[in-house]
Structure 1
Amino acid sequence: MRILIWHVHDSWTRAFVHGRHDYLLPTTADHGPDGLGRASTGEWPSAAREVSSEALADEEVDVVVLQRPHEVELAERWLGGRRPGRDLPAVYVEHSTPAGAIPDTRHPMAGGGVPIVHVTGFNDLLWDCTGTPTTVIEHGIVDPGRRYAGDIERAGMVVNDPVRRGRSVGADLIPALAEGVGADVFGRRVEGLPSCEGLRTYEDLSQEDLHDHLPRRRVYVHLSRWSSLGLSLIEAMHLGMPVVALATAETPVAVPHEAGFVTTRRDEIVPAVRHLMKDPDVAEEAGLIGRRHARRRYGLERFLDEWDDVLRWVAAH
């Protein structure tokens, strides 16, 4: 199949384009959010091909994979009047938890005739998609391999844009963690975090560099209160890192108890990290358990097989 898909979420898209199809990735002159094309870092297969927005009208497309509501109108304009869900088979991927009047938030694509794929069961449970077929395809990861060393006795985190996203990603919890055990925060736009003792930030590392530097930290900490299941958490488990995380959204079913510590108590976060830090053998064993679980539940082949089933169904209907 020839699949039109926008590069919206880097790690998810990277996994998706490792499938058995041809992938058309729109580009624009400014390489803005609607025209990023291929990733500038990381290994993407040659089947993921950039196509300028002006050239899309001449491309044959079998399925459109939508990820943002405005892509319906965008695709119709760029594809020469062919509208996803009417003239072309289409499916919508929902990456995020709902915001607003939870649990009564109506999905913006509900009732529009395009089936919705949620990336977690929690999202499927919370969004009101009445009248629209839905299914769940959990994340898949391109396995970076076990790289855990844990030789730096600090907590490691990956958080993009924590200042703007604030409490939803636990930005307010970072100072206590940094002052208690030392925290290294990796991601985009992390320099704006308030300075405090024990906090270090690392801006815009390539994925390969991140996968080398992050697992040197003794423990991975995931402080997200309200977002979909973070791929950085699943990647950290693939890397073999022990995990301390908040028991919110999908996290309680993604992180087995033996892989670290999952809690709803803010006063338990720092003690849990200290416990893993003081015993490297316990930390390493927890990381091995987490890696085995993550590879089994969030493996790439399972992810691609389930997507093949959905794409075949969408194309046939």
Structure 2
Amino acid sequence: MNILLWHVHGSWTTSFVQGPHTYLVPVTPDRGPDGLGRARTWDWPASVREVAPEQLRRCPVDLVVLQRPHEADLVRRWTGRRPGTDVPALYLEHNSPAGTAVDTRHPLADRDDIPVVHVTHFNRLMWDCGRAPTAVVEHGIVDPGHRWTGEEPTAAVVVNEPVRRGRTTGTDLLPRFAKRVPLTVFGMATDGLADHLGLPADRCRTRDLPQHELHAAMARCRLYLHPVRWTSLGLSLLEAMFLGLPVVALDTTEAREAVPEDAGVVSNRFDVLEDAVRRFAEDHAAARETGLRARAAARARYGLPRFLHDWELLIKEVTR
């Protein structure tokens, strides 16, 4: 089966393309947002083929996986086919609603020909999808192996553009935690974060690493801190659990579902969260044991075999 999808979310796509199909990924000369082509920092199999827009009219396409509202128009322009009518299509919604949760209508809410697939049950609950059919396929992770050493008594935080995104990603909370444990913030556009927060460099360092270096660097940190107020379930949280890091997370969106009680600490109480980061930072043995339980829980729920199986069932249902 030939599946057309855009390279939008590198980590999620890395898992999806491990399936048994051929994956057609548009590529443009500028490798812009609508034509990134194959990943350069993730390891994708040979079954992922770059296709120029002008080639798509001649390519057999059995399924389109949309991820952004304007992609439906790109499909019509580039292939001459209407998604949901001339070619089966799904809309993968990565995010929680950005506006007021109870009032935000999904861009496909008025359509019944393209199912909306959510990555968490929380997102399915919060989005108003109108008459569009909905489904949930929870995340799956390519297992990086147990790599935690915890040799650095710091808390890893992974967030892109923390200054711009501010309260959404809990950037304003970082000084509170930095009083208890030094922070290493990984991600894009993190330069100047310590100055922005008024923190000394030894309490908040930033690192923008390529994907193949990120996991090793995270695994040296004692714990993973997830201060996010309102985003979908971050794949970095699940990757940290797979690596064997204990987790301290805000009790928001889907975090409670992802992190069992013995795999870390999930709470909205500052005193509980602050005590947890301090305790893991000071107790290497406790961090190790909790991290092992976090890894076991993540593998059981977010393993790649379950993820691919769930997607195969949905793909067969939509393309039959």
Provide TM-score, normalisation by structure 2: 0.96
Distance across 1 between alignment mates of 2:54 and 2:190: 35
Partner of 2:33: 33
Residue 168 of structure 1 aligns to a residue whose secondary structure is: helix
- Partners of 1:31 and 1:109 lie apart in 2 by 27
Amino acid at match of 2:33: P
Whether the 8 Å CA contact 2:227–2:250 is kept in 1: the answer is yes
AA at the equivalent of 2:205:
R
Q: 1:260 aligns with which of 264, 267, 287?
A: 264
Counterpart residue identity of residue 56, structure 1: L
**Distance apart, 1:100 and its partner CA:** 1.7
Report the counterpart of residue 286 of structure 1 in structure 2.
Answer: 290
2:165 is the alignment partner of 1:165: yes
Q: Which residue of 1 aligns with 2:103?
A: 104
Q: How does 1:1-317 map to 2 (within 5 A)?
A: 1-79=1-79, 81-112=80-111, 113-195=113-195, 196-197=199-200, 198-203=203-208, 205-316=209-320
- 1:89-134 residue CA offsets vs partner (Å, 9 max, x unmatched): 0000011001223212111111222101100000001111131111
Kindly indicate whether the alpha-carbon contact (under 8 Å) linking 1:15 and 1:142 is maintained by their aligned counterparts in 2. Answer: yes
Q: Which letter does structure 1 place at the counterpart of 2:42?
A: G
Distance 1:189 1:251 in 2: 24
- Give the whole-Å Cα distance in 1 for the aligned partners of 2:17 and 2:101: 33
What residue identity is the alignment partner of 1:253? Answer: E
Q: The residue matched to 1:54 in structure 2 has which SS?
A: helix
Q: Give the residue type in structure 1 aligned to 2:16.
A: F
- The DSSP-based 3-state class of the residue aligned with 1:124 is helix
| SS of residue matched to 1:181 | coil
- Residue aligned with 1:4, SS: strand
Gaps of 5+ in 1: none
Measure the CA separation in 1 of the matches of 2:192 and 2:78: 37
| Aligned residue type for 1:149 | T
**What is the one-letter code of the residue matched to 1:36?**
L
Which amino acid is the alignment partner of residue 44 of structure 2?
Answer: W
Superposition deviation, residue 142 in structure 1: 0.4
Question: Is contact 1:162–1:190 with CA below 8 Å preserved after alignment?
Answer: yes
CA contact (8 A) 2:19 2:308 kept: yes
Task: Give deviations 1:222-273, integer Å, cap 9, x for gaps.
Answer: 0110000000000000000000000000000100111111111234322210
Note the alpha carbon deviations across 1:203-236, whole angstroms, 9 max, x for none. 1x12120011111000100011000000000000
CA contact (8 A) 1:181 1:270 kept: no
Deviation at 1:32, TM superposition (A): 1.1
How far apart are 1:30 and its partner, in Å? Answer: 1.1
Percent of aligned pairs with the same residue? 54
Q: What is the TM-score with the length of structure 1 in the denominator?
A: 0.97
* Native 8 Å contact 1:6 1:25 kept in 2: yes
| Paired letter, 1:202 | R
Count residues with an aligned counterpart.
314
Cα 1:101/1:42, change in 2 over 3 Å: closer
SS in 1 for 2:186: strand
Deviation of 1:57 after TM superposition, in Å, equals: 1.6
CA contact (8 A) 2:161 2:189 kept: yes
User: Do 2:90 and 2:114's aligned partners in 1 also have CA atoms closer than 8 Å?
Assistant: yes
* Cα deviation digits, residues 60-94 of structure 1 (max 9, x gap): 10000000111000111111x21111111000001
